[in-house]
Structure 1
């Protein structure tokens, strides 16, 4: 019997020792709370870092309000032992019977605990409470048709330590992004003034089928009016505050697929769509730029759903499209967008030119039918450039009369220096033999010149540049733009100068689609001139712009392909 009691005492000692040295254990300060109240979960840790404890299992049914640490050190049987208490403040997210799950540390688990959360009736905003409302702009969207989820937080009293959780997708596939900034305004209902906080999100379905949207959530603290605490201590006493959790309505919608009958190249679904085009001038001349402004207005879609317009190519016309500019707006829970694209057009040949019709197929979500927006065909008459017109108006040179066969000829075969016609005019008499001799001399001189040039390159160890033709072609392309820029600068016309400068920049710097790109590529002094040009073009107040400084700067600027060509060519006649 003595031996039995001895074995039992040893077993109890070992069991107590194991409990004392367990890696983790837990306890709660109470097992029943009201919704909005908090309780404490205490974790006892031995010889472990509290940061190693994974608290994520708690977040399913509880919100972690705060945490603190208490450390202690003791000497047992000559051994130094340390322990840590991790104190976690938890707030239940819903009412009912909840379970605090077991937490794991170094392969050991703490004890689970049951918590009974009693429901508390939430007051409406009119009665001095807090409400979280939501609306959805469309309950039957199509693929890639954005819908607006709008949340309104109505405050009948002040809240503290608030945090929002945006709506999430529980089923299906969609993109969610905030739409605009959060705004606040005051509203009066039943004689009570309330603060309304409004926030919207843009949800764009990426596939057809069922789309489940879980509503936005709010976690905050409000004053506990039933706490019975001195009002002067209410903010410092934990019992004076109560935690609330609110959820806005959730939605499930059916996303319709793209109709098989749609014929457009890019899928575009909208409630309204308009397409129009304007030209900066109806007076077209060869080499002078014209700005074509294309504007697309649509409702029920955002800028992410719009693709850049692809304009058909036109023979003898160069087109340089700038980067589109988007303006997106939200009004009455509906999204609208305006896309503006500028295209610089430079005709290279006079005569009648045709700008082809532009079509854009889209799906009308109101009528559930396909429609086509059109830019009608335009016929343009291009006049010759100013330089060409001056060349054509020069008076023609009179043809010389044929020499009379009876003109006297001297013995050596040369005609007399001057021959006088019947009306007294002096004519140069040229004999056929002399003309053939002159042609032969020109041909011989040309051959000798070519041979001399080749001989010089051979002796100098050089070869003529193979890219000379390409260089000349690039210089020819720049000439109309430079001529147009010179005319605009002389007229001090900032709008024409801007168009011509953009066309020049797109040739000199491939990939340049906007004057902002050109500013980054040019020296700082020229960048400042472009900034001033832009200001004069877009400033609402009229201002005077002088273009001579800009023209001199561009005229003296050497593009990379021109400067490289100049450096690699040796002079034909060395000094």
Structure 2
């Protein structure tokens, strides 16, 4: 018979056992093991070492915050891999993470402990880094980075090119070399050339890679060129293994000194309209045919601007003064930027159609372009001398002059190349054609209300009307009046245009070879249909004038048509 004391003892044991089982059920599983090791305990400066983490649990993550390593190491690479094996019928899996480290200094470096998900913690470790071997007296380091500025002492101006030469000297056993391009703030960088060669410094042979950069400061003030860092690996041969080179090598990291320079603004004494800083700048010209020029026949004068140290998109055309004996019609400028391996070479051509009004001597005025010489640090003026041309009378007698009330057809405001010439290309070939056709043909082709006027007055009335229509179109373009320009263009097209019967202005424009005029007429169409707000007429008149100056003999005038009779779909 069990006593009461024994029953109590059994109850306590059962309760303790139950509690132990309960605690075993709710106790969390222990963290998976994560091991850490360095593949070498001591290295030389410039060598790399691998920090390896390993766990047998494929569910254990080896991701952690490794930023603490960056105090003493460069983290060059991170790689993870999973290995699986079967042993005695059981599958085993291990996960490895490998970090490639490069010491930032010599001495005893500490690799800190790391915590992983699940509570795993690795111990801290130490790495002994021996200093790089000292250079012998007169011996140069195996890798050298040199920077050279031109001009060396300035001055440096905003938008003006200065040259930067980056010279990397390295011994023949350097591999995996890499250097970043210069990265100054607030400046435009352009690589011009790269030249490899061999040089000897203090009796040591070096391979040299020389890069030439063009740098254009975008604003005045302090300009800093940060250090340029080169990294690579020296494949050194161990002294105890003469015929077997090292496969590991020693990493090198070399940085240049930062450069700081002061960029000057445009000088207050500069007298030009546009800021043109260059090492050299010159003007030249050419003519399409200057041997036989007649009244009303255009001759093309090409003004060429060449500059050293300035890109073509920064170049400007010289300003033409007004001409009383001729009209000037500009074409779209064309340009290109090249280089000679060290300096940018800007080249830009400005073409002008010159149409003489009267026979005799036509003097094209001297053209001047103010620029800043960055080599002499002073203002200069490029000059294109005046040119005298002999103008012969027109092949057919010249047409009567337009009334004094008509606005002059040529003016040269100094407001920029795009709108510098607003004079309309009013059709000199048209006047010759009208006189040649005679009164009878004129009456048939140019029939309008009011044809009952006297035959003697008909040619003069036609010429005056044509001039007025062109003058109206020009005035509407200058006033940026889209709807007015649309109506003026329609009136010109009805009476003087080259279209065929049944044609429209838009159809005629779409068939032109001059894309600028086609695009300008489409823009006018869209702007006028939307009220004309914000439309600028300079492009239309410039394109129309250029087309008119090369038009030649005028075809038979088209019958009056609606401008939008055959509207194509807008593009």
Give the TM interval when normalised to the shorter protein: 0.5 to 0.7
TM-score (norm: length of structure 1) = 0.56
Show the counterpart of 1:85.
Answer: 96
Aligned to 1:164: 179
What SS class does the counterpart of residue 321 from structure 1 fall into? Answer: coil
Q: Are positions 1:219 and 2:219 aligned together?
A: no
Question: Which segments of 5 or more consecutive residues in structure 1 lack a partner in the other structure?
Answer: 393-441, 447-463, 477-502, 513-553, 570-575
Shift of the 259–127 alpha-carbon distance from structure 1 to 2, 3 Å rule, reads: closer
Equivalent-residue separation in structure 2 for 1:204 and 1:101 (angstroms): 46
Residue of structure 2 aligned with 1:268, choices 271, 276, 282: 276
Query: Does structure 2 retain, via aligned residues, the 8 Å contact 1:122–1:129?
Result: no
8 Å contact from structure 2 (residues 312, 347) kept in 1: no
2:191 is aligned with 1:178: yes
1:467 counterpart SS class: helix
1:151 to 166, 183, 186: 166
1:207 aligns with 2:226: no
Separation (CA, whole Å) in 2 of partners of 1:260 and 1:199: 35
Query: Counterpart of 1:523?
Result: none
Cα distance in 2 for residues equivalent to 1:268 and 1:97:
58
Residues 53-68 of structure 1: matches in 2 within 5 Å? 62-68=73-79
Deviation at 1:162?
1.8
Partner of 1:120: 132
Report whether the alignment pairs 1:254 with 2:262: yes
1:17-32 maps to which residues of 2 (within 5 A)? 17-18=30-31, 20=32, 27-30=37-40, 32=42
Q: 1:133 aligns with which of 126, 137, 146?
A: 146
Partner residue of 2:460?
Answer: none
Q: In 2, are the aligned partners of 1:287 and 1:346 still within 8 Å (CA)?
A: no
3-state SS, counterpart of residue 316 of structure 1: strand
8 Å contact kept, 1:127–1:156: no
- Cα 1:129/1:507, change in 2 over 3 Å: closer
Q: 1:470 aligns with which of 493, 497, 514?
A: 493
Closer, same or farther: CA 92–349 of 1 in aligned 2, 3 Å = farther
Q: Deviations over 1:110-160 (max 9, x none)?
A: 877665543324769987933322212234322222222212222332322
Please state how far the C-alpha of 1:197 moved relative to its aligned partner.
Answer: 1.3
**What is the distance in 2 between the residues matched to 1:385 and 1:148?**
55
Alignment of 1:231-246 (within 5 A): 231-232=243-244, 234=245, 237-238=247-248, 241-246=249-254
After the TM superposition, which residues 11-410 of structure 1 pair with which residues of structure 2 at under 5 Å, given as runs? 17-18=30-31, 20=32, 27-30=37-40, 32-44=42-54, 47=59, 62-71=73-82, 84-92=95-103, 95=106, 117-121=129-133, 129-137=142-150, 138-140=152-154, 141-169=156-184, 173-180=186-193, 182-188=194-200, 194-226=206-238, 228-229=240-241, 231-232=243-244, 234=245, 237-238=247-248, 241-283=249-291, 284-286=293-295, 288-299=297-308, 301-303=309-311, 306-309=314-317, 311-312=319-320, 316-331=327-342, 335-347=343-355, 349-351=357-359, 353=362, 355-386=364-395
CA drift of 1:38 comes to 0.8
Greater shift after overlay, 279-288 or 194-203? 279-288
Superposition deviation, residue 251 in structure 1: 1.4
Q: Secondary structure at the match of 2:30?
A: helix
When residues 375 and 192 of structure 1 are mapped into structure 2, their CA distance, relative to the original with a 3 A threshold, is same
Q: Secondary structure at the match of 2:498?
A: helix
Query: What residue ranges of structure 2 are gaps of 5+ in the alignment?
Result: 1-15, 399-428, 433-450, 456-486, 500-511, 522-550, 567-571
Higher helix share: 1
Q: How much does 1:213 deviate?
A: 1.5
- The alpha-carbon distance between structure 1 residues 162 and 72, as it changes in their structure 2 partners (threshold 3 A), is same
Assess if the C-alpha contact under 8 Å between 1:123 and 1:129 holds in 2: no
SS of the residue 2:334 aligns to: coil
Distance across 1 between alignment mates of 2:106 and 2:168: 22
Q: What is the Cα-based RMSD across aligned positions, in Å?
A: 5.1
CA distance in 2, matches of 1:153, 1:278: 45
Contact 1:28 1:42 in 2 (8 A): yes
CA change 1:443–1:258 in 2 (3 A) is closer
Distance 2:494 2:298 in 1: 23
> Separation in 1 of the partners of 2:114 and 2:319?
64
Distance 1:258 1:27, change over 3 A: farther
Tell me the distance in 2 between the aligned counterparts of 1:350 and 1:504.
31
User: Cα distance, 1:44 vs. partner?
Assistant: 4.8
Structure 1 residues 155, 86: closer, same or farther in 2, change over 3 A?
same
Distance 1:207 1:54, change over 3 A: farther
CA contact (8 A) 2:276 2:371 kept: yes
Instruction: Give 1:407-422 correspondences, 5 Å limit.
Output: none
The SS at the match of 2:493 is: helix
Aligned to 1:515: none
Cα shift at 1:161 = 1.8
Would you say the 8 A contact 1:41–1:87 is kept in 2? Answer: yes
What TM-score comes out, normalization by structure 2 length?
0.56
